[in-house]
Amino acid sequence: MIEVLNFGLAALILGLAVWAIVAREAPAAVVGFIVYGLLLTLVWLQLRGIDVALTEAAIGGGLTGVLLISAAVRLRSTESAFRAQRPAASTRWLAAVLAAAVTGALAICVLALPEPAPTLAPEVLANMAVTEVENPITAVLLAFRAMDTLLEAIVLVFALIGVWSLAPDLAWGGRPGPLQVADPNGMLAYVARVLPPIGIVAGIYIFWIGADHPGGKFQGATILAAMWLLVMMAGLADAPPVSRRWLRWLLVAGPLVFIAIGVVGAVTANAFLAYPQGFAKPLILAIEFALMPTLTLVLGLMLLGAPRRGKSP
Amino acid sequence: MNLLLDLWTVVAVITGAFFFFAGTVGLLRFPDSLTRLHALSKADNLGLGLVVLGLLPQMDSVSAGLKLVCIWLLVLLSGATASQWIARTLRHSGSGP
């Protein structure tokens, strides 16, 4: 029975992937992509990768979906002009062949994997006691492969700098996103008052539970960022100007604390990002606490886009 | 007692699935956006509600059951908001009735 469901799920995902490519209108393709992300969440659940499923739902489905929707809305005015200058048939065929070749190569690689696939999972489980956390994913992300997580956090800050650098000169240092006028009796304003208390608790819960169960800072930060965006979209609060000192400090605080702890490790534990014996859990928690506001702000501000409104008002 | 609870689960989940099915058919078959929205919100509210009610006796702990109910309530809230918002946009853009 479950095989039938799995097969149906795989067929649906493949169908949606094709739909997202062949759909003529950008919004239709985006909707296809969002549903694709949500179905991938179910696949990860089936594979018992609950952490990945949470991340896929929060970032792959939710956050990327909103980003793509706003991109599609922005492109709407130029879309027909763009479609008029359709590339030549040979170019399109070449693109199709290249894309198919990449897919084929990936499929061959996956199918050629030895059975069982090579894995470091037993070693992680054998050494997990050292880290004092109970969720193996967190142990990998913040102890065994902490370098990857550090670079990830830095890349996110760089991405935000990239988004900001698209601002026109006049708006530099100003507030990102359009000015939202609140409708005090509107449905959105109502939800923006009711939902954030629940969402903030859920976000912090998912962040905190990450040490021992599926969850963690990325998923929690996405929920917090969503609550922040909701309040701003409803016009109840305005986005901060990007020139604010506190904002910039919070944006770099996470990676800075991470690097500082890494350097301390180099002195006390003989390796960059190594934790001294017995201090693993508190240091991991310190890094998570420092990264949380950074991630929340980066994810929220990235969705708001480049500064658009001048500094003055 | 267990048999009764299991029976309740089967009946409630099947009824919930029926509402999802009916909502999907409505989404595909109804003539305009407002009626399609109506079909969709029925699936969310009643369908998910019945599935959650059906699963409640199968939960190990009270807190797990409460989480399920919370999920239903949150979906109710977001579904109602989104439907209202879409309907309002339709009316303002003049494509609604």
Q: Do B77 and A188 touch (CB under 8 A)?
A: no
Q: Do A198 and B85 touch (CB under 8 A)?
A: no
- Supply the pLDDT for residue A223: 92
Domain-terminating residue out of A39, A65, A86: A86
Q: What residues of A are in the B interface, CB distance below 8 Å?
A: 187-188, 190-191, 194-195, 198
- Supply the pLDDT for residue A311: 63
- Supply the pLDDT for residue A313: 46
Q: Are residues A22 and A127 in the same domain?
A: no
Q: Do A194 and B74 touch (CB under 8 A)?
A: no
| The overall pTM is greater than 0.80 | yes
Is the residue at A94 inside a domain? Answer: no
Is the residue at A307 inside a domain? Answer: yes
pLDDT, tens digit (0-9, with 9 covering 90-100), for A73-92: 888 888 777 777 777 889 98
Q: Are residues A198 and A53 in the same domain?
A: no
Q: Do A188 and B78 touch (CB under 8 A)?
A: no
Q: What angle do CA A204, A195, A230 make, to 5 degrees?
A: 90
Round to whole Å and give the CA distance between B86 and B92.
Answer: 10
Is the residue at A214 inside a domain? Answer: yes
Which region holds residue A164: left if phi is over 0, alpha if psi is between -120 and 50, else beta? alpha
Q: Are residues A130 and A66 in the same domain?
A: no
**Chain A interface test: which of B81, B84, B88 (most A C-beta within 10 Å):** B81
Q: Are residues A53 and A125 in the same domain?
A: no
Q: Are residues A60 and A190 in the same domain?
A: no
- Supply the pLDDT for residue B97: 53
Q: Which spans in A85-186 are helix H?
A: 89-111, 121-127, 136-139, 146-164
Q: Which residues from A are below 8 Å from B88, CB to CB?
A: 187
Per-residue pLDDT of chain A (313 residues; tens, 9 = 90+): 788 989 999 999 999 999 988 887 888 899 999 999 999 999 999 988 888 888 888 888 888 888 898 888 888 888 777 777 777 889 989 999 999 999 999 999 988 888 887 788 888 888 887 778 888 888 888 888 888 889 999 999 999 999 999 888 888 888 888 777 777 778 888 888 999 999 999 999 999 988 788 888 888 999 999 999 999 988 888 888 888 899 999 999 999 999 999 888 888 888 888 888 778 888 888 888 899 999 999 999 998 888 888 765 4
Is the residue at A114 inside a domain? Answer: no
Per-residue pLDDT of chain B (97 residues; tens, 9 = 90+): 788 889 999 999 999 999 999 998 988 888 888 888 888 888 878 899 999 999 998 888 888 899 899 999 999 888 888 888 888 888 888 755 5
pLDDT, tens digit (0-9, with 9 covering 90-100), for A138-161: 888 888 888 888 999 999 999 999
Q: Do A187 and B81 touch (CB under 8 A)?
A: yes
Q: Are residues A240 and A300 in the same domain?
A: yes
Domain-terminating residue out of A86, A110, A137: A86
Is the residue at A242 inside a domain? Answer: yes
Is the residue at A44 inside a domain? Answer: yes
- Supply the pLDDT for residue A80: 75
The number of distinct structural domains making up chain A is 2
Collect all residues with Cβ–Cβ distance below 8 Å to B59 and sequence separation of at least 6.
B65, B68
Q: Are residues A144 and A287 in the same domain?
A: yes
Q: Are residues A161 and A269 in the same domain?
A: yes
Q: Are residues A25 and A134 in the same domain?
A: no
Scanning the structure block, which residue is given the tokens 């393709």? A29
Which tokens is A216 given? 């963690």
Q: Are residues A209 and A267 in the same domain?
A: yes
Q: Do B74 and A187 touch (CB under 8 A)?
A: no
Burial A258-286 (b: 16+ CB within 10 A, else e): bbebbebbeeeeeebbbbeeebbeebbee
- Supply the pLDDT for residue A217: 86
Counting one residue from A and one from B, how many pairs have CB atoms under 8 Å apart? 16
ipTM of the complex: 0.80
Is the residue at A109 inside a domain? Answer: no
Is the residue at A101 inside a domain? Answer: no
Q: Are residues A304 and A223 in the same domain?
A: yes
Quote the domain boundaries for residue A183. 121-313
